[in-house]
Structures are given as structure tokens and as C-alpha cells.
Amino acid sequence: MSYIPSDILAERAARGELQAVGRLISRAEAGVPEVRTTLAAIYRRTGAAHVIGITGVAGSGKSTLVAGLALRLRQVGDKVGIVAIDPSSPYSGGSILGDRIRMSELAADPGIFIRSMATRGALGGMARATLEAVDILDLAGFDAIIIETVGVGQDEVEIARASHTTIVVSAPGLGDGIQAIKAGTLEIADIHVVSKCDRSDANRTLMDLKQMLMLGHAAAASTDWQVPVIGVSAYSGEGIDALVTAITRHRAVAFRSAAGQTRRLAIADFRLRKTAENLLAERFAAVAAEGAPPLARRLADRDAGPYTLARELVANLLAWESKHE
């Protein structure tokens, strides 16, 4: 099959062709140079979709919640894109958990698109091409785009700087009264969800979260929004309608209020810095592949200290940048 230019794929994606959407996301993940001009053009055509970030510790039921939420959003007429971030295999670099398999019941609906993305060493709970995938789905006409973070570790706060609405999922019985405090994500939530609320110990987690919010530890900075705590059971469907209502209300805040405008500016600032970091990381990796081994030998021989040799490696990067301007 001959190579189809990315700008042609973009036009097909804009018409809703899911195969073109998948191929563009694959090229964004791979960092194909040819796709970057197209991604820039796509970005200028997007911004209408509601980006919903869902985070929480492993075992809190994020994927089950995402599946239930996507089905309910479809019932109210939204097209739903899901970008599910999985940890990378240390051997292949690919995704380990495979949300495509865990959400297979959604695959038959053409109004739902699911893409698993491996972190490939990226920190903060998101893959490097996550936001490019969001743009492509936005271009393809998806109304709501859900980003589910990787769910391992305790510092996944980047999602709050990449989404219009951030949902933090907690669950009873995972060893702490409030999992969100352990995860360091209590303050980033626009909506708190306690999953598995059909369990007898869920009320304790619900009450603990509400009390913490009342004490002001996670109070919203804007009076436009008071953070709700919603109990949800994916098994019975309890709470899903209340969650969709809260998401709809927060979308109005995110797109129509001064606080929402400030947040969108913060999202743009985060994205600018993150893109610049990724570019630097790519170029540094190329320079280090050639320049690091002899410096590492000198470090192993203790000819110089690590800071001295690291500065030399950085100087090699700057020299490379100057030569290639």
C-alpha cells in the first residue's frame, strides 16, 4: 500500500473516517516528521470538543467508569473518543493492559472510538502524543474526549493541565480512607467520584471526601464551581446520570466563564512547554547517542565529575542546535 500523505488523512478524518483517525494518531505517536505540519493545521481547526480527564489510583475502577460514562454520553447523543493511557512494557515499549480489550463492549458503536497509548517512559500519567490524539479526535467531530490516565504512581496531576474537566476516582477498601489524598490529586478534581458505591463501606469514603472539601483543602478557586462528590456503581448504574449532569454543568463553566478562559490559557501554556520539552528530549537523545559513551567512560574512570561532564553533553546539544539552525 502506498504512503498516504498526512494532510489527505486529515481531510478523511474530518469527514469522520475512523481508519484515517487511527493512522494519524499512530503517526503522531511515532513522531513521524511529515505529520507535524498536518498536526499544526489540525490544531487550528479544533477546540470545540469537551476534554474530560479521569485519574485515580490503580484499582479504583477508572476503566469500568469510563465504559459506563461513554455509553451514557452516547445515549444523550454525544460522539465519544477515549484515549486510554497504559503503562509500557519494559521490553517492547508497548501497552501492557490493553484498554481496547477491557472496553470491547463499546467497540461495536461507531460513535465511540477507543485508542490505547503506551506511556513509553513519559511521566505524569499521560503519553507524549495524548494531546495530538485529542486534536485528531476533535477534528473528526467527537463531542466528548475522555483521557484515562495510567493509574500507577501517585503524581498524575498533569491531567488537570490538559483537560477542561478533571474527574478523580476513589474507591472504598483500598487501604486508605481517601485514596485521592494518597495520590496527591485531591486538589485537582473538578468532580470527585467514589466508585463501587454499592459496597457497604462506600459511605465512609463519600463522607470523608465531603468533609475534606468543606474544610477547604480542595475548595475550588472560583466561585463559579463547587466540587461535587458523586457515588457511582458501574454494576447497577447508580450515579452515572448524576455524573453526566455534573459534567454538563462543568462544561458550561469551562467554556463560558472567566475561570474557564483562565484555565484554557493555562492548558495552552502547559501544552507549549510540554511540546518544547519533547522536542528538546528528542534532540538530546540524538546527540547523547553519539556523545554520551565517551563521556560515560571518563565518568567511570573518575577523570571528571558528573556535573562537569553533563555540562559538556549539554554544550554538545547547543552546538548541534546552532549547526542545524
Average pLDDT over residues 219-236: 78
Third-level CATH fold of 46-256: Rossmann fold (3.40.50)
Taking 70 as the threshold, does the pLDDT of residue 122 lie above it? no
Residue written as grid cell 501517585? 154
Q: What is the pLDDT of residue 96?
A: 43
- Separation CA 5–CA 27 (nearest Å): 11
For the chain, where do the domains classified as CATH 3.40.50.300 start and end?
46-256
Average pLDDT over residues 234-256: 92
Beta bridge pairs of residue 78: none
- Separation CA 193–CA 308 (nearest Å): 49
Mean pLDDT over the full length of the chain: 84
Taking 80 as the threshold, does the pLDDT of residue 37 lie above it? yes
**33 Cβ contact list (under 8 Å, min separation 6):** none
Q: What is the pLDDT of residue 16?
A: 94
Taking 70 as the threshold, does the pLDDT of residue 289 lie above it? yes
Weakest mean pLDDT among 26-30, 63-67, 88-92, 294-298: 88-92
**129 Cβ contact list (under 8 Å, min separation 6):** 25, 28, 29, 31, 117
Q: Convert the pLDDT of each residue in 169-225 to its tens digit.
A: 888 876 555 555 554 567 788 999 998 888 888 888 888 888 877 776 544 455 678
Q: What is the pLDDT of residue 89?
A: 42
Pairing of strands 144-148, 50-55: parallel
Taking 90 as the threshold, does the pLDDT of residue 62 lie above it? no
- Separation CA 233–CA 65 (nearest Å): 8
Q: What is the pLDDT of residue 181?
A: 56
Give this prediction's pTM: 0.86
Q: What is the pLDDT of residue 103?
A: 63
Weakest mean pLDDT among 59-63, 111-115, 131-135, 243-247: 59-63
Taking 80 as the threshold, does the pLDDT of residue 79 lie above it? yes
How many CB atoms within 10 Å of residue 230? 21
Q: What is the pLDDT of residue 184?
A: 59
Taking 80 as the threshold, does the pLDDT of residue 324 lie above it? no
Please choose, from the candidates 51, 55, 61, the residue with its C-alpha nearest in 3D space to the C-alpha of residue 85.
55
- Separation CA 303–CA 309 (nearest Å): 10
